[in-house]
A and B are shown apart, each in its own frame.
Chain A
Amino acid sequence: MDILVSGLLLSGTYALVAMGLNLQYGVARIMNLANGEVLVLGALAAFWLYTTSQISPLFTVVLVAPISFIGNWLIYRFLLLPLVRRSKTQGNLEVDSILATFGMSFVLIGVMVSIEGGFFAYKYLSSPISIFGSTTSLSRFVSFLIAAIIGFLLYLWLNHTRSGVAVRAVSVSAEASGLVGINVPRVSAWAFALGGMITAIGGALISTFITLDASIGVVFTLKALIIVIMGGVGDIRGAIVAAIILGVVETTVATLIDPGLTLAAAYLIFLLILLFRPQGLFGRRPL
């Protein structure tokens, strides 16, 4: 039970990390290497507002959401759209966007270091609670709930609304969706902005129970990348299922075998999926 509860809560964290990148990579086709930095930026906002003016991180989430949405939209519109226009193939765009966002990640790190170079150490809702006899912190549980809500809303939106269908259409084929009258650049910009927003919200939430610093973003980018590729690019169910698998497996290994092997276990699953289902759990085979 301990394993299941801790594992599921950890999955919530991973889902927060990966859902945003999934939208950005799956729909907008931008392999965003600054994903982790956006997450840390959200965490920095929560830390800074909490330590300077005692603003609850949960309220910060409400503030961070529109700001990060607009910020990411601007990034897409002015920084990435020229790359999208210029690139002739998907491969071209991937290489260009990797380089551009890699550069962007350094800029973001620099900005964050100049604001706070040390650890974002603060505590919020860190009181213990008991779930089915297993103790955990309230902050982890709250983040898990919010992650679940975000995942659920995204799923509903993508599968049961007109605009959601448009987003999925772009993720399947940008060319074909253009032909049936979907405004592909606009949908892509929205997906990118929404992805960035979810990532920043995730950062603000994660900072309530993990001590971050300005340089730790790359750790989250890598985790997000693994989850997105495991789950299948552009499929939100895939990202969530992959996050759950990763969270539960890591916790199982840490509890029953050795905490030192969690990373090894995570990469082993990743390898197995790449070997036997290279398109990811929910991915489509390329036509």
Chain B
Amino acid sequence: MIIRNILKTTLAAAFATSVVMATAVSADGVIKLGAIAPKTGPLAGGAVVTQWPNVDLWVTQVNARGGLNVNGEKMTIELIQYDDKTNPGEHIKLAQRLAEQDKVDFVVAPYGTGFNIATAPIYGRYGYPMIAVSAITDKAEELTERYPNLFFTLGTTTAFVEGVREILIEQRAAGEIGNEVAMVNVADAFGIELADRAREMFSEAGFELVYDKSYPLGTPDLSPVMKGAKASGAKAFVAWSYPPDSFGLAEQAIIEDLDVAVYYSAVATSFPAFSGAYGNKINNVLGAGGTNVDDPQVAEYRQAHLDITGKTADYWASANTYASLQILEQSIEGAGSIDRDVVTQYIKDNSFETVMGTLSFENNISSTFWSVGQWQDGVFRGVKGNDVDGAVGVRVKDGWAD
């Protein structure tokens, strides 16, 4: 009887201690990081390439180092992740859950322009610094004015069109293309905004859009689009496209043997899967974004990405996504606090050493980014950008042979 009582007490004590210890650890040794992005739905294909592996990579690396140094105390990262199913309503509900129930300390900004804009108010209300990556809009200034916790890192619509326009002007001067441009866009907020801007900016530069059409997202057969572009006779082809159709357009261009000197398609052109599917046929194809693959820091990052996540990083926003987490890391350590207002202020006031180079914010907008890259002999290299080093010369597209 006595023995049993002793046993009971010991067990209870042991249990109590373990509970106390457990709470002690989670109370002050851990930073909770919330991440919501698509794992299913139309944007999932992009998010699992660009967004999720980088979150995993960064969290793994930080925890392997023993955590972040916050005012002398090592704090590890606990990642809480949800799938928003590419549904903004779902995302907002989950964001509320992150703040109210999970009580996370920081968040990873959503994936996609629309999602970043749609969720800025809710993350703003809880004061989370939100370093948006996969978001390109000309309304950046207006938005950062309204939501002082929102930061943009990937550039603006105008800058993206400008990158393409510069290339068109250069190639026209070199005699490779004429004034005629064939342009298509996906009928989606992203494609429409870019195409609208391009219409103005291209015609200002004296270009004539001899083929200018949109197509719905998920069109199963893009051959009429490509046949139309080919029939227009333009030597330059520009597509403001999204992932499934960037692949479909390239496929049709190969089949139709589209005879152009400049071929550009937007999102997903920089994905490893793009060259995986088409190999050398897409040599000299231009696409949105880019990286300086010759930078040793980028090379080191790409290797770590492959080693830890088992996947090859894409040649564009992957590095920016990772850089945004490096900014978060440096600002938490620099501010020596996990107070969100203090950290937000720190991001505004300082510059950060990242895989994308030194980044700083003016009115919450970073002006260091790549706008156009090109597949050159199996590697997607940045050819146009703002305030970036290592841009290489643009090559002319010469047929679609293997």
Contact = CB atoms under 8 A, between A and B. Distances in A.
Interface of A: 2-3, 6, 9-10, 13, 109-110, 113, 117-119, 121-123, 126, 128, 135-137, 209-216, 219, 223, 250-251, 254-255, 258-260, 262-263
A216 B218 contact: yes
A109 B49 CA distance: 17
Contacts of B42: 215-216
Contacts of A121: 247, 271, 273-274, 276-277
| 6 tightest Cβ-Cβ pairs between the two chains A and B | A117-B48, A254-B224, A211-B247, A213-B45, A259-B215, A121-B273
17 contacts: A6-B223, A10-B220, A13-B221, A117-B44, A117-B45, A122-B277, A123-B251, A123-B277, A126-B254, A137-B255, A213-B244, A215-B44, A251-B221, A254-B225, A259-B214, A259-B224, A262-B216
Which of B39, B40, B221 has most chain A Cβ within 10 Å?
A: B221
B215 A126 contact: no
Given A119-B244, A216-B218, A126 B255 contact: yes
B341 interface: no
A128 B257 contact: yes
Contacts of A216: 42, 218, 244
B322 to A, nearest CB: 18
A258 to B, nearest CB: 6
Given A119-B243, A121-B274, 14 more contacts: A6-B224, A10-B220, A110-B40, A118-B45, A118-B48, A135-B256, A212-B244, A213-B243, A213-B244, A251-B223, A251-B224, A254-B224, A259-B213, A262-B216
Contacts of A10: 220-221
Contacts of A209: 251
B292 to A, nearest CB: 24
Contact of A255 (B86, B220, B227, B248): B227
B216 A260 contact: yes
Interface in B248-277: 248, 251, 254-257, 268, 271, 273-274, 276-277
Contacts of A219: 218
A215 B255 contact: no
Contact of B273 (A119, A135, A214): A119
Interface size class of B (residues with CB under 8 A): 35 or more
B227 A2 contact: yes
A255 B254 contact: no
Contacts of B224: 3, 6, 251, 254-255, 259
Nearest to A116: B48
Contacts of B228: 255, 259
B143 interface: no
Interface string B37-55: 0011110110011001000
Contacts of A211: 243-244, 247-248, 251, 277
Given A136-B223, A259-B225, A122 B276 contact: yes
A259 B219 CA distance: 9
Which of B223, B251, B256 has most chain A Cβ within 10 Å?
A: B223
Interface string B192-228: 0000000000000000000001111011111111011
A128 B39 CA distance: 35
B278 interface: yes
Contacts of A126: 251, 254-255
A262 B42 CA distance: 19
Given A214-B40, A260-B213, A13 B256 contact: no
A258 B254 contact: no
A119 B221 contact: no
Nearest to B400: A128
A212 B248 CA distance: 10
A113 B243 CA distance: 17
A152 B56 CA distance: 50
A15 B257 CA distance: 28
Contact of B45 (A3, A109, A119): A119
Interface string B131-161: 0000000000000000000000000000000
A212 B223 CA distance: 17
B77 interface: no
Contacts of A119: 45, 49, 243-244, 247, 268, 271, 273
A113 B39 contact: yes
Contacts of B59: none
Contacts of A136: 223, 255
A269 to B, nearest CB: 16
A214 to B, nearest CB: 7
Contacts of A122: 276-277
Contact of B214 (A109, A214, A258): A258
Contacts of A3: 224
B62 interface: no
Contacts of A113: 39-40, 44, 48
Nearest to B49: A118
Interface in B227-250: 227-228, 243-244, 247-248
Nearest to B222: A259
Contacts of B70: none
B187 A260 contact: yes
A129 to B, nearest CB: 9
Nearest to A123: B277
A225 B38 CA distance: 26
A260 B192 CA distance: 12
Contacts of B225: 254, 259
A133 B49 CA distance: 39
A219 B117 CA distance: 26
Nearest to B40: A215
A23 to B, nearest CB: 22
A137 B251 contact: yes
A118 B156 CA distance: 26
A251 B222 CA distance: 9
Contacts of A250: 221
A48 B278 CA distance: 17
A126 B279 CA distance: 12
A122 B277 CA distance: 4
B278 A123 contact: yes
Contacts of B41: 215
Given A10-B221, A119-B271, A126-B255, A215 B216 contact: no
